Amino acid sequence: MSPQISSRATVVVIAALIAVSAMALWFATNYAVMGTDPARYLAVAEEAVQSGALAEVYRLPFAPTKKFYLHGDDCLTLSMLIAPRESRLKAAISPRVPMGQFQVEADVQEKLPPQQPYCNGLAATLEAVKNPTDSEAPRLPELIYYHRYIHGIVTVAALLLGTISFQSATTLLLATCYILLAWLITASALRLRSSSPSERRRATAFVCIGLSLALFFAVPVFDRSFCFSPLDIALIGFILFGLFHPLGKISELRLVLATASFGAAIAIFDRLVGGIPIALAVLVLLVVLGEARDRTLVLRLSLALTAFITAIVVCIVCKQLLVVAVWGPDPVIDFAARLGQRTGGGVTAEVSESVRRRLEEVGLSLSWLDSNFAFRIVFAAIMLVYSAFILGWGSHLVGAAIVILPTPLLLLLAYFAVRGQPSRNWPLEVVAIVGAAMIPFAWYLLFLNSTILHSSIMVRLLVLSVALVPVVWIFHASARGEPPQPPGTNRAM
């Protein structure tokens, strides 16, 4: 018999052990790479600046006049690698980042993305570190420790940049994302030839998922960056795992181990850029597509979600415990305050100048944003719909269709699926999939400040719903073709 989990407490313990092990592996790896000669990362950063690689531009097909600078966040990552280290231990726990106003020479500024403070901070830090004894060189900017995230992306960057150039590393990450997506789509498509109707149904669902991510997840825009590609690689990799190892068929122990490992990876790589909510939605979807039904489906969802959430919480707690052990409790208090700001804090002081100008053009005052929670919800929705042109290859119309249409279609299909049936006969697969589609909206409400300020990133969470519409239709059509089931019985897949 396959190993069974005796209680939820066992799930929590196993997931916590996986998370602690993942954090130990992360810390050991980070401690090792922090022993790399800083001159190596200085050379990589200098080459990235002088070659213009950091100013790489991507133009969307339907908006060729708009420039997307791909490496603004990578400037922050490079700054973390070249910043002088007080000790190897401290550098392995939390990186240092430059703060304040930066003076950058005009010839260097031309090689950097415009209006990117992170890149200006990198240039100022680089110039000061290169010439530590030159009295005429710029003074080293103020450096502070960045404790809020685990920063697994810095570990990935340090590993890759220790041997290859910045441009080669980012190209490798982008290629990895495309290879995984091609593998997902191809492997799913090959399974369409299966003689089993249930396997063909699963294959169709996975093809829809792969195509939606390949077409609308803005992979060429985001996955050239260290900030997003490790997270997306973990996400696509786990979807592939769910294709080859149905989460409804593997043993409960393997399910807990797999979902806890997935949660740990997401926690280590996510910097509040939407990794957790989309991973939650994917996890629910993969359990539904894992050939578990009715009571077994509910049990599997419970096990998977418990393991996933436990792993994330334990990883975050481990990071903050390390911070407390070295720096004391003050950084953790600051972390809690910043998290509160991202959930329900005001946004007026942090809105970009471009948004301020656009609001002034239409006669709206920023003061109304912080005066009413409902106003902020409406504004967040407006920002998400506006930013959706990134998903629509530069078309505002296509982007709006991607983020607006799937949710009402899902709700409509769910209504037809449950209409006229007692609740005990509702198709749980459909209910679970619609629930997965609601996860991004719950996250938007929870982190409303972050959604408004980073709408161009957070809008990516809605791409999965494009795939969920045909998946729900498939399950609804399948359920209509099955005879009614007596209460308390499990349907065969």
- Angle at the Cα of 226 (from 36 to 347), degrees rounded to 5? 120
Cα(102)–Cα(109) distance, integer angstroms = 11
- The answer to whether the Cα torsion of 113, 118, 124, 130 is positive or negative is negative
User: Which residues have a Cβ under 8 Å from the Cβ of 46 and sit 6 or more positions away?
Assistant: 126, 130
Strands 142-145 and 96-99: antiparallel
Cα(71)–Cα(168) distance, integer angstroms = 14
Please name the amino acid found at residue 204.
T
pLDDT band per the 50, 70, 90 thresholds, residue 397 = very high
Both tokens assigned to 436: 């997965």
Cα(258)–Cα(247) distance, integer angstroms = 9
Residue-averaged pLDDT of the chain: 89
State the pLDDT at residue 29.
97
For 72, 116, 488, the CA distances from 63, given in Å and listed in that order, are 20, 21, 55
Cα(422)–Cα(359) distance, integer angstroms = 49
pLDDT surpasses 50 at 63: yes
Cα(196)–Cα(60) distance, integer angstroms = 41
pLDDT band per the 50, 70, 90 thresholds, residue 349 = low
State the pLDDT at residue 426.
79
In this structure, the dihedral spanned by the alpha carbons of residues 303, 306, 308 and 309, taken in order and rounded to 10 degrees, is 170
The arithmetic mean of pLDDT across residues 385-409, rounded, is: 95
Both tokens assigned to 16: 């916590």
pLDDT surpasses 80 at 351: no
Collapse the DSSP code of 378 into the 3-class scheme (helix H, G, I; strand E, B; otherwise coil) and give the result.
Answer: helix
Please name the amino acid found at residue 457.
I
pLDDT digit string, tens, across residues 270-301: 998 999 999 999 999 999 999 887 788 999 99
**Least confident segment among 195-199, 366-370, 463-467, 485-489:** 485-489
pLDDT surpasses 60 at 483: no
Nearest to 464 by CA among 490, 434, 444: 434
pLDDT band per the 50, 70, 90 thresholds, residue 20 = very high
Axis crossing angle, helix 252-269 with helix 8-33, rounded to the nearest 10: 40
pLDDT digit string, tens, across residues 324-347: 999 999 988 888 887 776 676 667
**Least confident segment among 311-320, 384-393, 474-483:** 474-483
* Beta strand ranges found along 180-256 (DSSP E): none
**Least confident segment among 170-174, 185-189, 328-332:** 328-332
Cα(395)–Cα(414) distance, integer angstroms = 29
pLDDT digit string, tens, across residues 95-134: 999 988 888 888 888 888 888 889 999 999 998 887 765 5
* Beta strand ranges found along 361-467 (DSSP E): none
pLDDT surpasses 80 at 362: no
